[in-house]
A and B are shown apart, each in its own frame.
Chain A
Amino acid sequence: MKILVADDTESVLLLMSRFVEALGHHAVLAHNGLDALACWRRERPDLVLMDMMMPVMSGPEAASVIKKESGETWVPIVFVTGVGEDTTLAEAIECCGDDYLNKPVNFRVLEAKLKAFSRILELNRKVREQSAILAEYYERSEEEKGVVRHLMEQMVNSERLADPQLEYWLTPAESLSGDLIAAARTPGKALHFMLADGIGHGITAALNVLPLTQPFYSMTEKGFTLSEILAEMNNKVRQVLPVGRFVAVALCSINEADGCVEVWNGGMPELKILDQACRVIETFKSFSLPLGVVPSHAMEFSPKRYFFSQPGTVLAYSDGLVEARNRAGSAFGFPRLLDAISTASAGRRVEAVKSLLLQFLDGKEYHDDVSLVLADFGVNEWSRPVCRQSGAGPDLIRLERLVADHKVLWRYALTLGVEELKYINAVPFVMTFVNDIRPLLPCKSDVFLILRALFDNALEHGVLGAGLPAARSIKGRAECQLERMKRLNNLQDGRIEMDLAGVSLAGQLVLRIRVKDSGKGFDWQAWDRAEGTSVSSGGQGLALVRSLCAGLQFLGSGNEAVAYYLPGSACKNHE
């Protein structure tokens, strides 16, 4: 150690410094308090041996300044005291001393005390080192959490969650939530929402759910189906997360146009469908492994369906909500949740659940992330876009000539053969392109509906052949979908061509969509005469195309349809 020895008596100073050096330490000498202070500032010794009574500045005075200036570093100060200084010694030790030695100084006692202080100093140094490491670690971990929180907030995208059809609540047990709620609309305006619960809590749980968001948003935006989105999410989770990590997911789609709710549940508590009186009319238990456990080919991604004719609500929640326990150890439970929902009016239901849960917990904290989603369906009469592009239509003959002469702004054509039709979802595929054409952006919903209707018509009435069951009733719609899947799987032969072109006609952009199938066609003239009052689903779809477009023509035997759409003219009134 480097030891500062301060004494105004030369002989004592000399003796003490000899002692100190004999014990293997380095001595620095000072002749009074002020001198000691200067010495301390210059040399920064590990320990101070200080006489009490000194001229210019006394020992205790110098000691109190040293203690003040040494701050967080502990510099032990040992007063060397004569007989009869008991009162001043007591005061000095109280304010700034750590120990004392009696004069004349005993070599053995000095040796023992220096050893003791050396041990304490070492311990002190270690503690400070560790607390510095701890502080640094804490800071780093807070910073990391901040980054993940920011990432989560960006990914969760509260803007899209602000959907009039949706009410939600998400509250983390720790600073970060392992629950995730996401919602988005397909180009056809179906509402997709997802409730996911990552394993564990806090940062690791939050990281588990992150891989889900990107496929959810980007594929919903292009109009992919739930099964396709799920397969991609499962691949992502397996690709990114280590073994033993998985994510429980409930994914739901509400399609007002078809009057259909689709639900897929892998590892989440039962989703429920409530009628307007808040009675549970349908439940969707978890019927699949969570995402990330087994490869996609070993998973069943087909959703369960519920067709509605009356308004109602889809209710989804994480187990953190119903399993939240109060001090007495009882769980919040579903009946309380349902009670809170049924007594509140739409728009205030989440608030009602929140306040009932807080009242129930009575100050106790949640042990798990709590999340809740309420999604209404059938409340507003689905407003079919009825903005028929009337008035002086475009000069179609001139337009066709331009197309024939390849005088187009851009063109996108694809052909799907029989195998491709089975595994490529053509419309979302084309939407990837449509989403990139700037003038089409404000009306991509229209374009999606037109493509969907023309493609469905080509597939169901062309390639798969006529005679699909009519889809008027709830049962009929389910049967129709099943039959379509069955026939598509067994299909031996067939192809569909899709061709999109942007043509500039008299300074206006016209979107020309041509869809041709390998089928026998259909009696479009009869359909035309009936003006879309046909009852088949294809007929309804085509009526929609006619109402959206400036023109719809059938060619040949009816296996080729060409629709003309004017972006920007009529699409504003139903956005």
Chain B
Amino acid sequence: MLPTVDINGEVGRVVLTGQFDFSSHREFRQVCETLIANPEVKELLIDFQNVVYLDSSALGMLLLLKEKINAANKSLALVNCRDAVRQVLEIACFGKIFTIR
């Protein structure tokens, strides 16, 4: 899975594709860290449009990301979560700590 990045003004969008699991760990972290380090970007959107599968390690990566976003005083939202992705996020009750759109 190679995440693509799209910066539009203050919003940085990370579009994920395929399986989002531990094998995506490195690329996901790199892409997000670059966006967080970018002073122009104030809000990060993780786009699940093309994600077919999400496992518990992916949830762990999201928690880590949230921690870093908070430390950088930026905001984060999970967007375009459908079917399988929404289900996993719901079981983990991530709606309580993440903005999901």
Contacts and interface: CB of A to CB of B under 8 A. Distances in A.
10 residue pairs, one from A and one from B, having the closest CB atoms = A244-B64, A199-B56, A244-B60, A244-B63, A267-B92, A286-B91, A289-B93, A199-B60, A200-B57, A243-B67
Contacts of A287: 93
A430 B12 CA distance: 56
B97 A267 contact: no
Nearest to B67: A243
Contact of B91 (A244, A269, A293): A269
Nearest to B56: A199
Interface of B: 22, 56-57, 59-61, 63-64, 67, 90-94, 96-97
A482 interface: no
A248 B92 contact: yes
A294 B60 CA distance: 13
Given A200-B60, A243-B64, A266-B93, 16 more contacts: A200-B22, A243-B67, A244-B61, A244-B64, A245-B60, A246-B59, A246-B60, A248-B91, A248-B92, A267-B93, A286-B90, A287-B93, A289-B97, A290-B93, A293-B97, A319-B91
A51 interface: no
Interface residues of A, number: 21
A165 interface: no
A412 B84 CA distance: 56
Contacts of B91: 248, 267-269, 285-286, 319
A45 to B, nearest CB: 47
A540 to B, nearest CB: 37
A230 to B, nearest CB: 14
Given A199-B56, A243-B67, A244-B60, A294 B97 contact: yes
Contacts of A342: none
Contacts of A286: 90-93
B93 A246 contact: no
Interface in A87-105: none
A197 B56 contact: yes
A51 B26 CA distance: 58
Contacts of A248: 56, 91-92
Given A243-B67, A244-B67, A294-B97, A289 B60 contact: no
Nearest to B65: A244
Interface string A237-276: 0000001111010000000000000000011110000000
Contacts of B57: 199-200
B38 to A, nearest CB: 22
